């Protein structure tokens, strides 16, 4: 039960961190003069990159922790 809770909380923290990074990227793109659709695309790309990086790190760490 404890292991499931840790996994769920870690996943929630990663999603929140990805959302914060995406919001920052979109805001910075908009301040740089990008249009709203372009800023949304940069935010989406940043969100996907953070989730992909977190998945890659988790898959590498799983080999050492299990």
Cα distance between residue 35 and residue 39, in whole Å: 6
pLDDT greater than 80 at residue 34 = yes
Closest CA to 47 of 8, 27, 17, 10: 17
Question: How large is the average pLDDT for residues 13-33?
Answer: 97
- Find the mean pLDDT for residues 4-10: 91
pLDDT band at 64 (very low <50, low <70, confident <90, very high): confident
> What band does 19 get if pLDDT is binned at 50, 70 and 90?
very high
Q: How confident is the model at residue 13 (pLDDT cuts 50, 70, 90)?
A: very high
**40's tokens:** 């949304």
Whether residue 35 has pLDDT greater than 90: yes
Gap between the Cα atoms of 22 and 2, Å rounded: 30
């Amino acid at each position: 039960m404890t292991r499931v809770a840790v996994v769920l909380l870690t996943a929630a923290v990663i999603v929140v961190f990805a959302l914060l990074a995406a919001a920052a990227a979109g805001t910075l793109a908009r301040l740089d003069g990008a249009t709203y659709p372009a800023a949304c695309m940069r935010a989406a790309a940043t969100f996907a990159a953070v989730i992909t990086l977190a998945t890659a790190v988790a898959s590498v760490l799983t080999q050492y922790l299990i």
